Amino acid sequence: MEKIAVKELLKKERWGGENCFFPVLLSILVAALFSCSLPYGFLTDWDDHAFIVNNPLLVPSKENILTLSTSTFQDLYTPLPMLSFMLDKALFGLNPSLFRLENLLWHIVAALFLYGILRQLHIKNFIAFAGALLWAIHPQKVESIVWITERKDVLCGAFFFASIWFFLRSLRREKIPFAATAAGLLALASKPAAAQLPGVTDPCGTLFIWKKAIFFCLLQSIASSPASIFRNDFLLISCDK
C-alpha cells in the first residue's frame, strides 16, 4: 500500500512547467542578489592564489588533464572543478568576474533543481519557490559564489539536486535511474560530500557504480598524501573544503 501511495504521489510531471513564472523569478532574484560580487578580484589571501592564479596545472595539456583527473590537489579529489578552472583560464584568462559568473550560474542551476524537486513532491508552486529561494540566498551561500575556489560547492549542489530530481522522475516512470546515477557521479567528482547520495537515489541496483567511484576517490586521496586521512579536512562528508 505504501509503495502504491508513493507512485500515486509522483504520478504527474512536476517541475512547474505549467507555469514558468516562479522558476524565472527565482533565477532573476538570485542573480540580482549576487551580481554585486562580480567585479571583485580573486581572493588571493585565501585559496584562489594556489588553485587558480598561480596554478601551473591549469595550463591546458594532456598531462595536466590526466593529473587533475586522477590525482588530488591539496589533499582533495575534486577533478570537475579543477578541470572547469582550466577551461575558464583558457577561455577568459585571469578574469575573476567571468570565473565568478560561472559560480553564480551553477548556483542558479542548483536552486532551480531544488525547486523542481519540491514540485515533484507536489508542494505548491509558491511554497516550492519560497523554499528554493531561502536556500539560494542564505548567507552561508555567499562564500560558495564569491570565493571562486569554492566552485566545488556550487557544482556539487547543482549535480546533487539534479540527481535527486532525475531519481524522482525515474521513480515515477518506473525506470532504472541511470541519469540520477550519472548526475550523482558528477556531484561526487565535484566534492566528496556527495558520497551520501547513494543512500538517497540508489534503490534500483546501481550501487556498484557508486562503490567503485567512492573507492577510487578514497584511493586517490590516500595515494597522494597518506597522512591526510588523519586530518579533519579529509573526511568524505566534510564541508570544509
Instruction: Report yes or no on 240 lying in a domain.
Output: no
With both helix axes pointing from N to C terminus, report the angle between 96-120 and 125-136 in degrees, rounded to the nearest 10.
150
- How many other C-beta atoms are found inside a 10 Å radius of the C-beta of residue 208? 9
C-alpha dihedral sign at 32, 38, 44, 50: positive
For residue 213, the model assigns a pLDDT of 54
Q: What is the chain's length?
A: 241
Mean pLDDT of 15-40: 85
Instruction: Report yes or no on 40 lying in a domain.
Output: yes
What does the block give as the cell for 63?
598531462
Instruction: Report yes or no on 113 lying in a domain.
Output: yes
Do 162 and 58 form a contact (C-beta atoms < 8 A)? no
Instruction: Report yes or no on 239 lying in a domain.
Output: no
For residue 114, the model assigns a pLDDT of 95
Q: Model pTM?
A: 0.77
Instruction: Report yes or no on 86 lying in a domain.
Output: yes
Instruction: Report yes or no on 241 lying in a domain.
Output: no
Instruction: Report yes or no on 38 lying in a domain.
Output: yes
Cα–Cα–Cα angle for 38, 41, 43, rounded to 5 degrees: 115
Instruction: Report yes or no on 136 lying in a domain.
Output: yes
Of 50-54, 127-131, 169-173, 237-241, the least confident: 237-241
The domain of 126 spans 2-234
Report the distance separating Cα 31 and Cα 4, nearest Å. Answer: 40
For residue 96, the model assigns a pLDDT of 93
Domain count, the chain: 1
Report the distance separating Cα 217 and Cα 172, nearest Å. Answer: 31
